[in-house]
Amino acid sequence: MLPTIAREDDVVVMVDQRKLPAQEVYVRCKTAAEVARAIKTMVIRGAPAIGVAAAMGIAIGMRKSGATGTQKFAAEFFKLCELMAATRPTAVNLFWAIERMKRVFAAAAQEGRSVDEIKEYLDRQAAAIHDEDVASCRAMGAFGAEVVPADARILTHCNAGALATAGYGTALGVIRGAVEAGKRVAVYADETRPFLQGARLTAWELVRDGIPTTVITDNMAGALMHQDRIDLVVVGADRIAANGDTANKIGTYSVAILAREHRIPFYVAAPLSTIDLKTPDGSHIPIEERDAREVTHMGGARLAPEGARVWNPAFDVTPAHLIAGIITERGIFRPPYLDSLKRAFEPQSSTQHPAPST
């Protein structure tokens, strides 16, 4: 499996996704501040991977704390949580992971645990967030494989693969799950301007897996669909609101509109950690705007003239009515999402198996 992110003692190691596929370079973050910077500058990106990185960053940051009393230790902990929360605003997995770390901290402090014991708990929680993410992606892959035709041409946008998660991927997890289930799959990867996650990262992952992959520029998807060459669209998500509205990489909305026009099923694959029931609908999802240089420049060379204004939102929102189903580790949830997504969080009894389609 691809080494997206790993812990080596008190160092967080991640493959530098800005440099792939030309170079496979590993960045070694020795402090929480270095991890925060890696998230902000997109050394690591993709909603679940960002959450894992933040948790690991907090864990190594607190490991290095010299505080002996819990009060000073707590002040440092909350500062690190704030540092991580300020990196990228859209992916809710980031805030979900920070909340999990906070809950562990609060419970340990309440029990009167020592600073060393709390450090240990934070380490374990970060490791659990990592491992659970891989397990969720695999479960998503198995559920999602059911909606993939035996012979399928699948369009995906951005990179929702092993690189965007702790491993295996969400949308690419569904593709991998379908291949493992014996289906014949060919993938069309949208280039994904301006950061080129599709052309650089999705294509890199799939080619390594031996899955037939064709890269297209974003403006080619409509022509492909019009020629009846796409059977299914699967994308990831950065935040899914309670009503099913989904924020994902800029351009996802256009793909969803095209899919609706051509009567092609459009699926979102995401773990429950991406579903934000506290956000009622897409209009409340904060959308990150990134540096103009990502649009005006390509590989260091200027494309647009000096003086041209730039709008560079990193994400857009696809309204729930365009989404055929949301594939999670607990099955596939269908409209109306206001009801079905709430059910996704209901506790499961040990004898009850998750329904594949809800």
Residue 282 found at the interface with ligand MRU (CB under 6 A): no
**Least distance to ligand MRU, CB of residue 1, Å:** 15
Q: What is the largest CA-CA distance in the chain?
A: 67
Active-site residue, from 123, 190, 238, 245: 238
* Chain residues 58-97 in contact with ligand MRU, contact rule CB under 6 A: 91
**Least distance to ligand MRU, CB of residue 13, Å:** 19
Residue 122 found at the interface with ligand MRU (CB under 6 A): no
The single residue among 80, 162, 164, 221 that binds ligand MRU, judged by CB under 6 A, is: 164
The single residue among 14, 39, 43, 47 that binds ligand MRU, judged by CB under 6 A, is: 47
Residue 226 burial (CB count, 10 A): 12
Sign of CA dihedral 126, 20, 275, 295: positive
Q: How many residues belong to the chain?
A: 358
Strands 232-235 and 151-156: parallel
In whole angstroms, give the CA distance from residue 331 to residue 139. 8
> Do the Cβ atoms of 114 and 120 come closer than 8 Å?
no
Q: 7 vs 46, 96, 318, 337, CA distance in Å?
A: 18, 20, 35, 37
Residue 328 found at the interface with ligand MRU (CB under 6 A): no
| 183 SS3 class | coil
Identify which of 335, 20, 304 has the alpha carbon closest to the alpha carbon of residue 159: 20
Q: Does the annotation mark 131 as catalytic?
A: no
- Helical axes 92-110 vs 70-85, angle rounded to 10°: 170
Residue 45 found at the interface with ligand MRU (CB under 6 A): yes
Q: Which is nearer to ligand MRU, 62 or 98 (CB)?
A: 98
Residue 46 found at the interface with ligand MRU (CB under 6 A): yes
The single residue among 52, 56, 268, 314 that binds ligand MRU, judged by CB under 6 A, is: 314
Residue 170 found at the interface with ligand MRU (CB under 6 A): yes
Stretch that binds ligand MRU, among 66-74, 79-87, 230-238, 349-357 (CB under 6 A): 230-238
Instruction: Name the site residues for ligand MRU (rule: CB under 6 A).
Output: 45-48, 91, 158, 160, 164-165, 170, 197, 236-238, 248-249, 314
Active site amino acids: 238
